[in-house]
């Protein structure tokens, strides 16, 4: 890679030198051509003015248009001959039909180049004769004297100028090119080293990560380019995320194994007691088996729900529905639930009478809120509070589900919605897959709602989950 970078930089430098050399030459030549044409038109204009001055003197000082003598004509012709001998200038007379009646065009200047129709129309003409010279042609304004001498013909002054392009000595160009290549090569080696070394390190680190070493990190040097630092940070962030998820996944499977093992052990034990006819109370044992089977079913259902939520095909059916009505249904179902009765929990509600219609999927909404209430029943000491309010700007319905438990530690609160996450401080008597809050968070996002948590909420204890749902327009 380093060698390719060096070759690439040297190639770019060489191409730039060649391009600048030829570009400079052609630009200089083009500029010289323009200057030559400008000088030609300037010289032709000067000769035109001089011709008009001489003609005027002939009119005013010596000649009378009524004289029959050829004296004026001869003197004017003599002056014309002097003009013809001027530096690279000539004088032609063009007849009304476009033919040259007097004079000869400069060498390599053709009638097509000077555009005779435009000259007869009084328009000056300039152009290039070849790569080394330019021309200018200016028609003289018609006067009475010209009419007397040349009838209805047009007098034109044609002047040529050489294009002077000063070319640099090729030796100097070669020396400059060699010095430039040496400098460019040194810079290329330096830059390639600064770029390739970090990239090689990045490649080795990503290879380690792909081979399962999620603890590998890309070292970041202070002198690295900002783009390379950003790349390294991104890879390190990815590796940290993979490592964290891997650990969470490992913890999850350990937890799930425990969650599966406990009810399975109970089911196996009680079913064997029943089948061996050693059970003291078959009905009670069957009830335990049913309870444990429902626990297993809930665990499997949570895993399936999370898998569905991650599927691109998963969709919610948003309809205009009453939030308070659904909340009331959920609260009624929990008031006489086993865990609420066993822990003797009180459920306080404060559902406002404000319009609480929102765009929700009723079934998914109940699933989301039920997961939050389930979580509250696990950690509450004696009280669960559920309330609904309209936000100050009237755009959102805010639902709060609070418990008076010991709260969430600062180390846990940032990870509480992460999949597979289970707090190390979780009490032993709290069971569950650890997916309920993750599913609730995903469902909230699907319904364009916001779910957040705050803890502690009261005297260093308690937890509140808040859901903000857009009001139906």
Number of H helices, E strands in the chain: 13, 12
Pick one of 3.30.565.10, 3.90.1170.50, 3.40.190.10, 3.30.413.10 as the CATH number of 316-470.
3.30.565.10
- Does 456 sit behind a cis peptide bond, omega within 30 degrees of 0 on the bond before it? yes
For the chain, how many residues are written?
473
Residue 444: both structure tokens together? 């909230």
Relative orientation angle of helices 226-275 and 170-210, to the nearest 10 degrees: 10
Residue 113: both structure tokens together? 């180049």
Domain ranges, ordered by start, for the chain: 2-162, 206-314, 316-470
From first to last of the 473 residues of the chain, give the pLDDT tens digit: 556 666 566 667 666 766 666 666 666 667 777 777 777 777 767 767 766 666 666 554 455 444 444 455 455 545 555 554 455 777 788 888 888 887 788 888 888 888 888 888 888 888 888 777 888 888 887 776 666 667 778 888 888 887 776 555 566 666 666 777 677 777 767 766 767 777 778 888 888 888 888 888 888 877 777 777 888 888 888 888 888 878 777 776 776 776 677 778 888 888 888 888 888 888 888 888 887 888 788 777 777 777 777 676 677 888 999 888 899 888 888 888 888 888 888 999 888 776 678 889 888 898 899 889 988 988 888 999 999 888 888 888 999 999 998 888 887 888 888 765 666 656 555 555 567 888 888 889 889 999 999 988 877 788 999 999 988 87
Q: Check if the beta carbon of residue 352 is closer than 8 Å to that of residue 310.
A: no
> Which residue from 461, 322, 460, 471 is spatially nearest to 393, judged by alpha carbons?
471
Q: How far is residue 70's CA from residue 66's CA, in Å, rounded to a whole number?
A: 11
**CA distance readout (Å), 6 to 17, 185, 211, 262:** 17, 7, 32, 65
Predicted local distance difference test score (pLDDT) of residue 399: 92
For the domain 206-314, what is the CATH code? 1.10.287.130
User: With respect to CATH, is domain 2-162 assigned 1.10.3470?
Assistant: no
The pTM score is 0.47
> Which residue from 131, 168, 107, 129 is spatially nearest to 32, judged by alpha carbons?
131
- List the Cα angle 432/438/440 in 5-degree steps: 100
DSSP for 286-317, please give it: HHHHHHHHHHHHHHHHHHHHHHHHHSTT----
Q: Check if the beta carbon of residue 168 is closer than 8 Å to that of residue 191.
A: no
Predicted local distance difference test score (pLDDT) of residue 149: 67
Q: Check if the beta carbon of residue 461 is closer than 8 Å to that of residue 406.
A: yes
Predicted local distance difference test score (pLDDT) of residue 66: 42
């Amino acid at each position: 890679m380093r060698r390719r970078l060096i070759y690439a930089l040297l190639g770019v430098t060489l191409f730039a030198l060649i391009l600048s050399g030829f570009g400079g030459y052609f630009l200089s030549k083009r500029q010289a051509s323009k200057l030559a044409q400008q000088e030609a038109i300037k010289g032709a204009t000067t000769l035109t003015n001089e011709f008009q001055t001489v003609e005027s003197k002939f009119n005013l000082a010596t000649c009378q248009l009524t004289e029959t003598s050829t004296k004026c004509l001869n003197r004017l012709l003599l002056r014309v001959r002097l003009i013809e001998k001027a530096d690279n200038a000539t004088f032609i007379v063009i007849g009304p039909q476009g033919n040259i009646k007097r004079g000869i065009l400069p060498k390599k200047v053709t009638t097509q180049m000077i555009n005779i129709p435009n000259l007869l129309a009084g328009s000056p003409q300039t152009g290039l004769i070849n790569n080394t010279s330019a021309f200018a042609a200016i028609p003289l304004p018609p006067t009475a004297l010209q009419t007397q001498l040349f009838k209805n013909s047009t007098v034109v002054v044609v002047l040529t100028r050489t294009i002077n392009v000063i070319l640099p000595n090729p030796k100097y160009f070669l020396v400059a090119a060699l010095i430039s290549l040496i400098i460019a090569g040194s810079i290329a080696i330096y830059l390639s080293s600064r770029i390739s070394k970090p990239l090689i390190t990045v490649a080795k680190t990503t290879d380690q990560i792909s081979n399962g070493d999620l603890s590998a990190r890309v070292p970041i040097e202070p002198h690295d380019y900002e783009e390379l630092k950003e790349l390294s940070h991104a890879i390190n962030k990815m590796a940290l995320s993979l490592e964290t998820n891997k650990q969470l996944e490992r913890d999850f499977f350990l937890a799930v194994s425990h969650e599966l093992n406990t009810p399975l052990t109970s089911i196996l034990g009680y079913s064997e007691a029943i089948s061996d006819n050693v059970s003291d109370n078959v009905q009670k044992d069957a009830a335990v088996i049913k309870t444990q089977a429902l626990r297993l079913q809930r665990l499997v259902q949570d895993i399936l729900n999370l898998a569905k939520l991650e599927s691109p095909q998963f969709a919610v059916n948003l309809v205009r529905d009453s939030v308070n009505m659904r909340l009331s249904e959920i609260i009624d179902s929990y008031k006489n639930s086993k865990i609420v009765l066993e822990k003797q929990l009180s459920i306080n509600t404060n559902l406002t009478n404000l319009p609480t219609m929102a765009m929700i999927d009723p079934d998914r909404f109940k699933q989301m809120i039920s997961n939050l209430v389930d979580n509250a029943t696990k950690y509450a000491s004696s009280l669960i509070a559920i309330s609904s309010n309209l936000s100050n700007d009237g755009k959102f319905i805010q639902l709060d589900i609070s418990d008076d438990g010991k709260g969430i530690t600062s180390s846990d609160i940032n990870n509480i919605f992460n999949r597979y996450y289970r707090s190390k401080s979780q009490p032993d008597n709290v069971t569950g897959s650890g997916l309920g809050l993750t599913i609730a968070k995903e469902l909230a996002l699907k319904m364009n709602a916001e779910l957040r948590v705050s803890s502690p909420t009261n005297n260093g204890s308690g937890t509140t989950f808040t859901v903000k749902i857009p009001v139906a327009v």
